[in-house]
Copies of this chain bind each other. A is one copy, B any other.
Amino acid sequence: MIKAGIIGATGYAGQELVRILLGHKEVEIKWYGSRSYIDKKYYEVYQNMFEIIEDICLDDNIVELANQVDVIFTATPQGFLASILNEEILSKVKIVDLSADYRIKDVATYEEWYKIEHKSPQFIEEAVYGLCEVNREDIKKARLVANPGCYTTCSILTIYPLAKEGLIDMSSIIVDAKSGTSGAGRGAKTDNLFCEVNENMKAYGVASHRHTPEIEEQLGYASGEQVVLNFTPHLVPMNRGILATAYANLKDGVTEEMVKAAYDKYYKEEKFVRVLEKGMMPQTKWVEGSNYVDINFVVDKRTNRVIMMGAIDNLVKGAAGQAVQNMNLMFGFKESEGLELVPMFP
């Protein structure tokens, strides 16, 4: 039994982490960090936890926290962890960072897209990008894991096998992604009010969304090429779920069978990636509440393009679930411990 602390426990991702860890046999939550709700009962912030959690919310004292727990999850705004991390902390505790601070290896790229200075670039190299299905072995040895973004997890896993196997033209990739609204967080903004989101759809961050360089960097590693692509996120009136529809030109001679074989090669043994049967479409509802990624593709012979589709629950595989999967790898637990969640329908 290890002890865990969460900084940012009252955001949507933080709360989902709590929900998942409550069902984890090897972990006990010792610290519900929330700058906004210090001294409030956790169940006053999330009433679903009434009679389940009696703890109160604590301040974000990472130094004190490092002494008390074995693992810290930071579900915090960009720049928070980078501004306080030091070697002493990392020597005492393992960290899974759900923010973007250590996801991008190139500091200049990070600073350009996020418009903030990186305060501790010395840890970027050490940090392991926590996409479990791709970097499993490195994660097992890591002290600091950069938990991937929600859009990026879905987009990268959807495209990865074809990039890795060299079946697609890497300069032709377009990712058109759609997300539920929980990804926008619990901050009180007019744009996220029920009446503004409900019965509405829009693209946002067109050609400028921060998840773009993260996707490009990882697909660059996979393909061995520098990748520049289009990524367009959309807001959709639902709570949970991301659907990524990705397009790429097939290289000459690539067949549907070869595409299928590539997906099977990388994902057949992966518990949390389900490559669907021909004709089954990924749908966000079929993965809701679970750590699954559902993936499928269609080859369009008329245009010689492949349309790749992936669906995740943005709060689980796109945030808290993957964070727990990373923790399981880091501590040598069964990788699926706490994550054997059957998708909830309807």
Chain A positions near chain B (C-beta within 8 angstroms): 12, 15, 19, 22-23, 46-52, 174, 176, 178, 180-182, 186-190, 192-204, 206-207, 228-230, 232, 234, 236-241, 243, 245, 247, 274, 276, 280-290, 294, 298-300, 302-303, 305, 307, 309, 311, 340, 342-346
Contact = CB atoms under 8 A, between A and B. Distances in A.
A270 B170 CA distance: 39
Instruction: List the 7 closest pairs (A to B, CB-CB), nearest first.
Output: A200-B285, A48-B343, A195-B346, A207-B300, A176-B176, A194-B197, A202-B283
14 contacts: A23-B342, A50-B294, A176-B247, A181-B193, A187-B190, A194-B239, A198-B198, A199-B288, A200-B283, A201-B238, A202-B282, A203-B307, A203-B309, A207-B303
A189 B189 CA distance: 7
Contact of A274 (B50, B199, B298): B50
Contacts of A311: 201-202
Contacts of A228: 302-303
A198 B193 contact: no
A198 B190 contact: no
Nearest to A284: B201
A259 B270 CA distance: 45
Contacts of A176: 176, 232, 245, 247
B196 A346 contact: yes
Contact of A280 (B47, B280, B303): B47
Contacts of A285: 48, 196, 199-201
Nearest to A247: B174
Given A200-B241, A204-B281, 18 more contacts: A12-B346, A47-B294, A186-B193, A186-B195, A187-B190, A192-B195, A194-B194, A194-B197, A201-B236, A202-B282, A202-B311, A203-B307, A207-B307, A228-B303, A230-B303, A230-B307, A232-B307, A237-B237
A285 B236 CA distance: 12
B50 A241 contact: no
Contacts of A280: 47, 50
A282 B280 CA distance: 31
A284 B342 CA distance: 21
Nearest to A280: B47
A194 B300 contact: no
Contacts of A289: 289, 344
